[in-house]
Structures are given as structure tokens and as C-alpha cells.
């Protein structure tokens, strides 16, 4: 599968996103990461940053060692660093930890990572000077994006290598991409934007790299995408029920109330609304219909989609808590005038739900592929031609489109294997249990991309089947999806043609939310 591309901007992109004492919303994170909304630091946050810095400077001047301020790091924390070497200590930390390898990480991920680190800096719990978050905000606003690599984070102590590559750019080192996407040295990009690198002081290098910001940013972006995809999966399921002459009676609210999972009820309500006034469904609703019950992949769609929704709701709850957190070690407690070591950088809470979401993506894709496959088998499609082909035998129709789905679903099942249960000790056994949350996030991005592709092929196939059911008319909602596909250059039934471009068009219509929008324009907002 290809690397996911930026999609799904919030419905209303905030004109400006303020980081300060409150938690960022999902929409604000997406707006900055994808929509390039400008960022400002609130006055209250700047005051809190100043108060915390006073505590750090007092501890830096004290003869007693304080971790992260006047000592080494990790397994080297036992060494007390003299005052004249502490600036070098912070530079060395950033340089040595910027040890990533592999392909570049997507721009939206790096921007999300920077925003979330900025948000933690703005809580006044990290002890940096205001100049540090101010430069980070200025880089975001100038479109300067540090080059971050695929490999390097164990998800504990936070996303060290990815954040270090960002910190490296703040001191004018390493490579970045400017607003146009051009690759150039950080010092040149800063100068071109009228910005000056910062010289890190006590505690600041550590404060820039010790957080779960990368994995959290990817979780928020994935949940934004999955919000669209789960509703679109309901649309695809409705089109398949309709195209395969299934019944909508099983989606009745009184049946869902017997098993009161909220996600199930919402999905069933969507299916009922989408199928309303379908001429296809009405054609076999009478007493002559001998269909006793539909296959699981049709009949149980709300149960599977609903369980997925409820799981993602839990993921969103965890993400919301993490957005309200200040993740650093050590952390400044300015009201008490002290700095304390802690374990809040451990990525386990985020890593677990990243893995949960990958399971969801795999299973929703799995049931989507099974619904698609039923269209193509003449023994199960209730009168449709084999593989929906124009001249079966001469034409293959959508035979290989289902192969593509199957290949993707197989990969999604592998990606559903959790990363968070693995741990490889590091730092001379000081960091002897890690979350692998960054790895969980990277595979979730591939899972979300794969789910979009599988659902798109189901929509594409179901639309062809609905055309083949004419003169029976689809519901107004599903008819709108068919019309969208046709107006986007995807032809209706006919002799075989190059199918890959049509699949890619359908993928973009699904991923961008266009399919969802087409339905909601007809019947109102889906749940």
C-alpha cells in the first residue's frame, strides 16, 4: 500500500490555534497538522512558562544535583555536570538522540508532533524559557518542517529520536523542508524566514524530546480519518444489502435495543436511513419473498461496525486525556518550587489504543471484503452476472478488484498484531520496558489507508450492481453515491476497461469524505 496522503480537514478549520493552559481539541490538531492553521501562545501560558523557568534556574544554581538540569541522562544520570558544560550537555543530548533512520515521515505527522510538544511546553511544566516555544510556533507558522525518519522511537522515554530531529532544527542544525517542500539545511530555512536558532540552556534539550507527541499526533489524525471511514463503511454496507436483495428489517431500532451497544444502534440507524425509499428493497419486501435471512456479512454489519465505533470511542477518550497532559521528565511543579522525576513519558496508554484501532480497521475491512465477494459469485448474487462482467468469459468484470481487496485485508490482519506487547530494553537496562507506541502508530496509518481502499472497492462494486438492477431504483441516498461515481469519471457497467484508475478515483472519493457528503446532502447527517 502507498503511504497515506493528507485528507479529511475538519469541517471548520480554526482561523488560529492557541496553545496554553487548556487541552487542544482534535479539530485544532488536525487544522495545524493538515490545514496549516497558524499557532499562537497565550499570555497565560507565557506567564506559566516564566514561573517554571525560575524554578529550573534556582535548581541549576544549587550545589545539589537535579536530574535533567545538572546531570547526565538515562543510565548516565549519576554524573553531575559542571555549570560551564551544561549548554554543551543540552546540545549533545539533541545531537546524539537525533539518530533516526529510514524514509522521511509525512509532513502532517511532523507538524502534529511539533504542535503537541509545543502544547506541553506551554503548560509551564517543562521549565524552558519562552524563546523555545516561541521559535517552535514560528517554525510551524513559517511552514518549516524538520526531516524526521521512520525508525528511532521506542515510545519511551517518549518519541525521543523523532522529537530530537525537531529539536535539532531549533538549534539550526539538520535538514528541514520549507513551506514549498524544498529540502535544505535548517539554518538556511530559519534565516530565510527571518528566524534565529536558539541556544539551549539547562533542561531545555530534554524538555524538547521527552514526550509521546508523535504517537499521539498520529492517533488523532487516524481517529479523524476513521470517523469518516466508519460512516462511509455504513454507506457501503447499505449499498451491498440493497444490491444483493437483502432486507433492512434486521436493522430496526427495537432489535438493536435488545443489545444496547451505542455503536451498534448508531450504525443500524444509519443503514435504515440510507436504505429508506429504496425501490430495490421494496421490490422483494412482499409475502412472495423466500429469503429467510441474509448472510452474516450483511445482517451483522451493525454489530461489527458498532463494536468498531465503540472501540474507537475508547481510543478517542484516551487521546483526549493525553491531549490534556503535560508529558515530560523531570516535570516542574512551580507552585511547590521543585522538579520531580516521573514516568509519565511511558507510551503504554497511547500504544494500546493505537493497536486497538488497527484491529478495528482490519475487521471492518474484512467484513467489507466479504460483502464485496458476494456480488461476484453467481451462486450468491441473486441474479447478477458472474463477477458483474458484461460478457462473462470474455470479460472479467470486478474479479480482480476483489483480489486487490483480499491482498489489502491480508496485510491489515498482519498489521493488527499488536506492537505494544513487545519491549526491547535500552539505555543499559535503565529503560528496561518500553511501549513501542511509535511503531503502533506507524502501522495504524497503513491500516487506515488500507481500510479506505477496501471500502472504496466495495462502493465501486455495489454501485455497478445497483446499475445492473435497473429498472429497479436505488434509494435516494445510495443513488447519490452512484451519481457521484459516474460524475467523477467512473463508468457504469460495460466491457472490461483499465480498472485501476477507477479504483483510485473511488479511494479518493471515500478518503476525502465526498461519498459521505453525497449521502448527507440527501438524508442529513449520519451518526
Separation CA 472–CA 122 (nearest Å): 60
E-strand spans in 96-242? Answer: 101-104, 145-146, 149-151, 175-177, 183-185
Separation CA 346–CA 337 (nearest Å): 24
- Kindly list the distances between the CA atom of residue 119 and the CA atoms of 24, 125, 484, in Å, as whole numbers in the listed order: 8, 11, 40
Assess whether 67 carries a catalytic annotation.
yes
What single DSSP character describes residue 106? P
E-strand spans in 127-251? Answer: 145-146, 149-151, 175-177, 183-185
Non-local (6+) Cβ contacts of 115 within 8 A are 17, 19, 24, 29, 32, 33, 39, 140, 217
Non-local (6+) Cβ contacts of 425 within 8 A are 431, 432, 433, 434
Query: What cell does 360 get?
Result: 478495528
Report the SS3 class of residue 176.
strand
Which entry of 67, 296, 352, 403 is annotated as an active-site residue? 67
Report the SS3 class of residue 392.
strand
To the nearest 5 percent, what fractions of the chain are helix, strand and coil? 55, 5, 35
- Kindly list the distances between the CA atom of residue 266 and the CA atoms of 220, 230, 247, 370, 525, in Å, as whole numbers in the listed order: 22, 11, 18, 22, 12
Q: Which helix (H) or strand (E) holds 340?
A: strand 338-340
Query: What cell does 81 get?
Result: 555536570
- How far is C-alpha 357 from the chain's CA centre? 9
DSSP code string of 320-368: HHHHT----SSEEEGGGTEEE---TT--HHHHHHHHHHHHHHHHHHHHH
Q: Are 376 and 468 in contact (CB under 8 A)?
A: no
Pick the closest to residue 156 from 372, 327, 375, 26 (CA basis): 327
What single DSSP character describes residue 75? G
Q: Which are the catalytic amino acids?
A: 67
Amino acid at each position: 500500500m502507498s503511504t497515506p496522503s493528507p485528507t479529511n480537514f475538519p469541517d471548520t478549520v480554526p482561523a488560529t490555534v492557541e496553545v496554553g493552559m487548556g487541552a487542544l481539541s482534535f479539530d485544532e490538531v488536525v487544522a495545524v497538522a493538515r490545514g496549516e492553521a497558524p499557532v499562537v501562545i497565550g499570555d497565560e501560558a507565557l506567564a506559566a512558562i516564566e514561573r517554571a523557568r525560575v524554578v529550573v534556574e534556582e535548581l541549576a544554581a544549587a550545589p545539589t544535583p537535579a536530574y535533567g538540569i545538572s546531570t547526565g541522562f538515562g543510565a548516565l544520570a549519576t554524573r553531575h555536570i559542571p555549570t560551564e558544560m551544561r549548554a554543551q550537555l543540552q546540545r549533545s543530548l539533541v545531537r546524539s538522540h537525533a539518530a533516526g533512520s529510514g524514509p522521511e515521515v509525512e509532513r502532517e505527522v511532523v507538524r502534529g508532533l511539533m504542535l503537541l510538544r509545543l502544547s506541553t511546553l506551554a503548560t509551564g511544566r517543562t521549565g524552558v524559557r519562552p524563546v523555545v516555544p516561541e521559535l517552535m510556533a514560528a517554525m510551524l507558522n513559517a511552514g518549516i518542517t524538520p526531516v524526521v525518519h521512520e525508525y528511532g522511537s521506542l515510545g519511551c522515554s517518549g518519541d525521543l529520536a523523532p522529537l530530537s530531529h525537531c529539536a535539532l532544527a531549533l538549534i539550526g542544525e539538520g535538514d528541514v523542508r520549507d513551506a514549498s517542500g524544498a529540502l535544505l539545511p535548517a539554518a538556511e530555512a530559519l534565516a530565510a524566514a527571518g528566524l534565529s536558532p536558539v541556544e539551549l540552556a539547562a533542561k531545555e534539550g530534554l524538555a524538547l524530546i521527552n514526550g509521546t507527541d508523535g504517537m499521539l499526533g498520529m492517533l488523532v489524525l487516524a481517529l479523524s480519518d476513521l470517523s469518516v471511514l466508519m460512516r462511509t463503511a455504513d454507506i457501503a454496507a447499505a449499498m451491498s444489502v440493497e444490491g444483493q436483495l437483502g432486507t433492512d428489517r434486521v436493522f430496526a431500532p427495537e432489535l438493536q435495543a435488545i443489545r444496547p451497544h451505542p455503536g451498534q444502534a448508531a450504525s443500524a440507524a444509519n443503514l435504515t436511513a440510507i436504505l429508506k425509499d429504496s425501490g430495490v428493497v421494496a421490490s422483494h419486501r412482499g409475502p412472495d419473498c423466500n429469503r429467510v435471512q441474509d448472510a452474516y456479512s450483511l445482517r451483522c454489519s451493525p454489530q461489527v461496525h458498532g463494536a468498531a465505533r465503540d472501540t474507537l470511542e475508547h481510543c478517542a477518550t484516551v487521546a483526549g486525556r493525553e491531549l490534556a497532559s503535560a508529558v515530560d521528565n523531570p516535570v516542574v511543579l512551580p507552585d511547590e518550587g521543585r522538579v520531580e522525576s516521573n514516568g509519565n513519558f511511558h507510551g503504554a496508554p497511547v500504544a494500546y489504543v493505537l493497536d486497538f484501532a488497527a484491529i478495528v480497521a482490519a475487521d471492518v475491512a474484512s467484513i467489507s471484503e466479504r460483502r464485496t465477494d458476494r456480488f461476484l459469485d453467481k451462486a450468491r448474487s441473486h441474479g447478477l452476472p458472474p463477477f458483474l462482467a458484461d460478457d462473462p468469459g470474455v470479460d472479467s468484470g470486478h474479479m480482480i478488484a476483489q483480489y486487490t481487496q483480499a491482498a489489502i485485508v491480508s496485510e491489515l490482519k498482519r498489521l493488527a498484531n499488536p506492537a505494544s506487547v513487545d519491549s526491547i530494553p535500552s539505555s543499559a537496562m535503565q529503560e528496561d520496558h518500553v511501549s513501542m507506541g511509535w511503531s503502533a502508530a506507524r502501522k495504524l496509518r497503513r491500516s487506515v489507508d488500507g481500510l479506505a481502499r477496501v471500502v472504496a472497492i466495495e462502493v465501486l462494486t455495489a454501485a455497478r450492481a445497483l446499475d445492473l438492477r435497473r429498472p429497479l431504483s436505488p434509494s435516494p441516498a445510495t443513488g447519490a453515491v452512484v451519481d457521484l461515481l459516474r460524475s467523477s469519471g467512473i463508468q457504469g457497467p460495460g466491457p472490461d476497461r483499465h480498472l485501476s484508475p477507477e479504483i483510485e478515483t473511488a479511494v479518493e472519493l471515500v478518503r476525502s469524505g465526498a461519498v459521505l457528503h453525497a449521502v448527507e446532502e440527501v438524508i442529513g447527517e449520519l451518526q
